[in-house]
Structure 1
Amino acid sequence: MAKVFIELLEILEGKPRFIDTRFDLSDNNAGRNMFNLEHVEGAIYWDLEDDLSDMFSNNGRHPMISKEKMTNLVQHAGLNLDDLIVIYDQGAAPFALRAYFLLEWAGFTNVYVSRSGFEELKSKLPVSKIKPVFTRTTTIPQWNSSKLLTMDEVRQVVAEVTEGQLIDARSNVRFKGESEPIDPIAGHIPTAINFDWEQLKRDGKFLEQKELKGKLTNLAPIDKPVIAYCGSGVTAAPLYGCLKEAGYENVQLYVGSYSDWIRENDVEK
């Protein structure tokens, strides 16, 4: 069973590289400003839109980055494939898990998301205002492309040519098409089921593994491929991570998500 989340006590026992991914979807500068004010000592900052998305692409609202951009990102950060890496955000947010997915896609094998947000981390770890500089590495990612689904591959799932259960991480009213505050077309990808990602957290933390198993393992057979998506590919990342933590053996992510799907495809309500 995959271990996605790491507890504060476990962090204190190791010497990880830290990545700060705090962000605010309503204020694009908020995360970087928080990092500049204070961050876990030694942490680097990865911005959801500048670093973890390709905002010049039209494949959804937070499109997948290229292999070239990801390679440059990890090399510039001075990361090696076997480094112990702990990613954090403000707690129970989707941003650390977006970075987690990208690092897993790039073949990093020792990556975890802090179950504690920054405020709890700083109560036990030293903080700093200094932006660290690391020697650039020549790391070549070992791509796990099977974790990432394209629109065409999702079409194959919808047509039942390829096995898989699509799971929509948005709210139920958006899934049903009763309300759509962001995208121009309301509804969901055909054949998908719904699990609102907000159910995965409580009191600023993602749920413990036992609770996640109780909530998620009835969605599909545990050995069947499951594909997380949402509106823009951001809040699908927590669902992706929690499905892995709950014991699903083959978890994939459609980063383009609903905002990409509606460009060329029909929807259900």
Structure 2
Amino acid sequence: MSYLISVNRLKSRLENNQGNTVIVDVRFQLNDPDAGRKAYLHNHLPGAVYMDLNKDLSGKPEKHGGNHPLPDTRQFAAKIGKIGIDHETTVVIYDQANDMFAARLWWLLDSMGHEKVYLLEGGYERWVAEGNEVTDEIPGLKARKFQPVFRENQTVDIEELKEKLKDKSTVLIDSRGIDRYLGMVEPLYGKAGHIPGAKNYFWKDVLNEKGNWKKKEALEEHFASLSKDQEIIVSCGSGVSACPNVLALKSAGYKNVKLYPGSFSDWISYDDNEIEKKEE
């Protein structure tokens, strides 16, 4: 996958002083929002800066819009510039392992036209397991100006989604685990089930049995029932775990892929929206 960088490649890049690289640590736990920042302060990859899912990669939740709405684009662009990123910068993002939060930042930067964005394969765990250095030193970064160049048609809102669901050429994906999709369990929200018409593609299924990202051929097989001529809208609980599926679909050659940022948490914020619990 062209969106990945190996530990060895990153290590070589740092050792050879290949400049204009910013490493971003996005470790996070939904059930303990301070855990990721605490882990970063304890130790992190040399030169890495921390970005928080709630404070940096999301906007403020309101009645509608979902639990992790997209951040204000102007404020987000300013934050990206402040940590030293412009469109010439190579950005390497890492999570605890191959978790969902790195893909969220990848999606945000990609949607703003940034080309050189990579996920560290295996994340922090792989870096440490291969004997590489970590530090608690907070880096000093030179601010740059990040000017977004927005890609068109990257998202849908709830009204557009409702219209799209009437169109058989559009497919809606739910990226959550099957138990949540079927409404058997729901640890985060007051309602359980899924958006009517959504098909379940658990985001962790884009990883192999060792937890590594599947290669293009395996991803094409995984998504084989989806036509590359179809429009594919990807959702989850709140627009975070959908992002690995977006990345995987694009890696497999799907081009017409959009994110429903509000996802199920936005859908259920409207009392008159129906919920389904059977597999579709």
Structure 2 length as normaliser, TM-score? 0.88
2:30 equivalent to 1:8: no
Q: Deviations over 1:141-197 (max 9, x none)?
A: 111241122212212211229x42111011223222333332222222222111112
Task: State the partner residue of 1:21.
Answer: 26
Task: State the partner residue of 2:35.
Answer: 30
Task: State the partner residue of 2:72.
Answer: 66
Task: State the partner residue of 2:216.
Answer: 209
Distance 1:182 1:140, change over 3 A: same
Structure 2 CA distance, aligned partners of 1:124 and 1:101? 29
CA-atom RMSD, angstroms?
1.9
Residue 103 of structure 1 deviates from its aligned partner by 0.6
2:56 equivalent to 1:48: no
Contact preservation (8 Å) 1:85, 1:111: yes
What are the ranges of 5 or more consecutive residues in structure 2 without an aligned counterpart? none
Contact preservation (8 Å) 2:78, 2:145: no
Residue 97 of structure 1 deviates from its aligned partner by 0.4
Q: Which residues of 2 match residues 46-195 of structure 1 at below 5 A?
A: 46-58=51-63, 59-122=65-128, 123=130, 125-160=132-167, 163-195=169-201
Residue 53 of structure 1 deviates from its aligned partner by 0.9
Distance 1:125 1:223, change over 3 A: farther
Structure 2 CA distance, aligned partners of 1:67 and 1:133? 24
Structure 1 CA distance, aligned partners of 2:232 and 2:242? 12
Structure 1 CA distance, aligned partners of 2:112 and 2:131? 30
Q: Percent identity?
A: 32
2:242 equivalent to 1:243: no
Residue 39 of structure 1 deviates from its aligned partner by 1.0
Distance 1:55 1:204, change over 3 A: farther
Residue 41 of structure 1 deviates from its aligned partner by 1.0
User: SS at 1:19's partner residue?
Assistant: strand
Structure 2 CA distance, aligned partners of 1:226 and 1:83? 30
Q: Deviations over 1:2-56 (max 9, x none)?
A: 7222222332343432111111112111111111111111111111111111134
User: SS at 1:206's partner residue?
Assistant: coil
What are the ranges of 5 or more consecutive residues in structure 1 without an aligned counterpart? none
Aligned length: 266
Contact preservation (8 Å) 2:61, 2:67: no
Residue 125 of structure 1 deviates from its aligned partner by 4.4
Distance 1:23 1:158, change over 3 A: same
Task: State the partner residue of 1:267.
Answer: 275
Residue 124 of structure 1 deviates from its aligned partner by 5.6
User: SS at 2:153's partner residue?
Assistant: helix
Runs of 4+ in 1 over 6 A off after TM superposition: none
Contact preservation (8 Å) 1:4, 1:244: no
Structure 2 CA distance, aligned partners of 1:44 and 1:233? 23
Contact preservation (8 Å) 2:78, 2:146: no
Task: State the partner residue of 1:221.
Answer: 227
What is the one-letter code of the residue matched to 2:52?
D
Structure 2 CA distance, aligned partners of 1:145 and 1:121? 35
Contact preservation (8 Å) 2:61, 2:68: no
Structure 1 length as normaliser, TM-score? 0.91
